[in-house]
């Protein structure tokens, strides 16, 4: 479909508006410079077009608003894949006379852009209404489950442009899917998009080639306020997500986990928003630079990525974030990309990242609503929290299954080099942070010690 790639990811879906376009005159009758109907010729307007799910027919029409003083002997619509269609192209015939008419246009090619005009003819000649253009998007309504290569190829052969429903690619225990090239027409998913499952989803899939045209993952109904998610999980040989470089509209949860050979997220460079970002259990992941254009996110989890050394892809995060959890990234040493953050509404949790030797990145933080948890880090002091003026105002009972440390407001433990707690002196001299757990650090002062200036042992 030569015209498919010209579509800029906006599909015209069931436009039943009664808006009419101003009439104009074809070159055949000599349109004047003011765009007025030449005397003696009919005046006709074109109605907007309503497309069908199969992309092979539309409902169109128009209105003869002035006969030009002579009987209307023909009226209808004409269309072409090129602008300014005329009665020399494909046409419908909708009788005679003045007033509105409806045309059923059939035999169209799916996923193709067309141009259409209403026309009316009297004894003096033919005049045309304003031009409308439309795209014959082929739409699938319902959830799609593709658990084998045969199913991927069969569904792809239908050339659907939009899916209104959730899409699942994979199979528990492992599918035989090796490529997604058959899905090259797919432009919009109006639902969740999951590649993989919870157990060996697609062990033979090494890339996502075929999804280059995917531009949008979002809701469909205006009253559906639940963000739609992108989940890529348990694809043990997936090396990259480069084919998603056309995905620009998305605001749900981004979950990428347990993809053993995934090295980077470069294919996600057009994303700007996400509700939650969860990047975890990717053994070969070296960087997350593909997230560098994200400027809005509420919840952030970076965990169990043993090769990850920095968070540079998060340098444009907002100053206020709901929750930050950075856990069990054994090579992670540089978290300076989080320097924009000044307020965390709930938890700031950094645990089991022994190569993190400094938390200076947080020297602008003034509020942490629930918990500050620092466990098994390489830090020597807490000077970066000198501006922290509020901690624990949003604490509630931890959910079942959470670690015991979440019952505390402030947890500082197993930091082998931590000897200086003076950065928390001002905070602990207030009523904030009532529940404190300080143990197994190089120095373990009490709250009273810290407030009384016995806050370091160097």
Report residue 102: phi and psi, to 5°: -120, 140
| pLDDT for residue 432 | 79
**Locus of tokens 């639902």:** 191
Give the pLDDT mean for 246-267.
95
Q: What is the DSSP letter of 89?
A: S
Taking residues 326-338, what's their average pLDDT? 97
Q: What beta strand segments (E) does 147-215 contain?
A: 162-164, 167-169, 188-189, 193-196
To the nearest whole number, what is the mean pLDDT of the chain? Answer: 88
Look up residue 207 and give its DSSP letter: -
pLDDT band at 394 (very low <50, low <70, confident <90, very high): confident
pLDDT of 6 higher than 60: no
Q: What is the DSSP letter of 221?
A: S
Cα 155 to its chain centre, rounded Å, is: 23
Candidates 178, 292, 255, 272; CA nearest to 216 is 272
Q: What residues contact 190, with CB distance under 8 A and at least 6 apart?
A: 162, 163, 164, 165, 218, 219, 220, 228
End-to-end CA distance of the chain: 72
Assign 223 a pLDDT band (cuts: 50, 70, 90): low
Percent residues over pLDDT 90 in the chain: 80
Tokens of 51: 């497309």
Q: Judge whether 187 and 210 are in contact, CB under 8 Å.
A: no
For residues 70-94, average pLDDT: 97
In the chain, % of residues over pLDDT 70: 88
Among 53-67, 188-202, 285-299, 384-398, name the one with the lowest average pLDDT.
Answer: 384-398
């Amino acid at each position: 479909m030569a015209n498919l790639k010209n579509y800029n990811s906006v599909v015209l879906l069931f436009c039943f508006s009664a808006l009419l376009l101003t009439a104009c005159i074809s070159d055949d009758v000599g349109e004047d410079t003011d765009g007025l109907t030449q005397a003696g010729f009919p005046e006709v307007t074109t109605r907007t077009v309503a497309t069908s799910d199969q992309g092979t027919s539309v409902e169109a029409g128009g209105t003869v608003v002035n006969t030009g003083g002579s009987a209307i002997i023909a009226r209808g619509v004409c269309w072409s894949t090129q602008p300014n269609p005329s009665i020399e192209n494909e046409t419908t015939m909708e009788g005679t006379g003045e007033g509105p008419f409806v045309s059923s246009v059939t035999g169209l090619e799916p996923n193709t852009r067309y141009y259409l005009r209403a026309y009316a003819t009297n004894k003096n000649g033919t005049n045309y209404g304003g031009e409308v253009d439309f795209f014959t998007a082929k739409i699938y309504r319902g959830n799609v489950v593709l658990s084998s290569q045969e199913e991927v190829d069969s569904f792809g052969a239908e050339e659907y442009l939009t899916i209104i429903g959730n899409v699942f690619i994979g199979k528990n225990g492992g599918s035989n899917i090796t490529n997604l090239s058959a899905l090259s027409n797919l432009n919009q998913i109006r639902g969740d998009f999951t590649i993989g499952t919870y157990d060996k989803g697609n062990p033979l899939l090494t890339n996502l080639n075929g999804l280059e045209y995917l531009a949008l993952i979002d809701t469909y109904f205006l009253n559906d306020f639940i963000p739609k998610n992108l989940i890529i999980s348990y694809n043990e040989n997936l090396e990259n997500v480069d084919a998603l470089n056309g995905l620009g509209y998305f605001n749900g949860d981004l979950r990428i986990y347990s993809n053993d050979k995934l090295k980077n997220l470069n294919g996600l460079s057009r994303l700007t928003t996400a509700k939650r970002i969860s990047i975890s259990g990717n053994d070969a992941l070296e960087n997350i630079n593909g997230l560098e254009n994200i400027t809005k996110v509420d919840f952030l989890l970076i965990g169990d990525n043993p090769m990850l050394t920095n968070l540079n892809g998060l340098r444009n995060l907002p100053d206020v974030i709901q929750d930050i959890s950075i856990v069990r990234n054994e090579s992670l040493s540089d978290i300076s990309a989080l320097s924009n953050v000044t307020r965390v509404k709930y938890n700031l949790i950094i645990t089991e990242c022994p190569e993190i030797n400094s938390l200076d990145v947080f020297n602008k933080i003034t509020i942490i609503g629930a918990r500050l948890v620092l466990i098994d880090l390489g830090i020597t002091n807490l000077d970066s929290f000198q501006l922290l003026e509020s901690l624990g105002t949003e604490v509630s009972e931890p959910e079942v299954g959470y670690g015991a440390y979440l019952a505390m407001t402030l947890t500082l433990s197993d930091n082998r080099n931590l000897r200086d707690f003076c950065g928390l002196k001002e905070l602990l001299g207030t009523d904030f942070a009532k529940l404190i757990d300080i143990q197994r650090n190089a120095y373990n002062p009490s709250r009273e010690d810290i407030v009384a200036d016995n806050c370091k042992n160097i």
